[in-house]
Amino acid sequence: MEIRWKSSERRAEIIRLLESRRKETMANLAYYFNVSIRTICYDITILTASHPIETVKGKGGCVRLMYGTGIFQNILSEEHQNFLLRIAISLDLDDKTLMHSLLQAYGSKRNMERISAVIL
């Protein structure tokens, strides 16, 4: 069964996706929500009134949250990341997968290779 998104739900999910993925194309968003690119463009126009969203045109074009807005600041310190990596070794596969997603979302990009090597 296909999910039918309300516009407010779709817009909230767009923000969530942009926060986790950093950027996304209009075409990918349209495919994900099973709506037209025009609908996504309208959603982005509405969202820019209350969120720091920008569109990049041309080759490599995308929709993204503006850099320097504080949204991309990592929540976990190096010490927190190291602690989570130490305890990840003792987790079962499902918990390791969850830990990996948490560290990807809230950890430092420079630690991603080390995180993947330890957890996966």
The pLDDT tens digits for 82-119 are: 898 889 889 998 998 888 888 887 777 667 777 777 77
pTM given for the model: 0.57
For the beta carbon of residue 10, count every other beta carbon within 10 angstroms: 19
Q: 59 with 89, same domain?
A: no
DSSP 88: H
- In terms of domains, do 59 and 17 share one? yes
Integer Cα distance of 113 and 80 in angstroms: 17
* In-domain check, residue 73: no
Structural domain of 29: 7-65
When pLDDT is cut at 50, 70 and 90, the band that residue 21 belongs to is confident
- Count the domains in the chain: 2
| DSSP characters over 34-53 | TS-HHHHHHHHHHHTTTS-E
At 48, which CATH number?
1.10.10.10
The letter for the amino acid at 118 is V
User: Do 26 and 56 sit in the same domain of this protein?
Assistant: yes
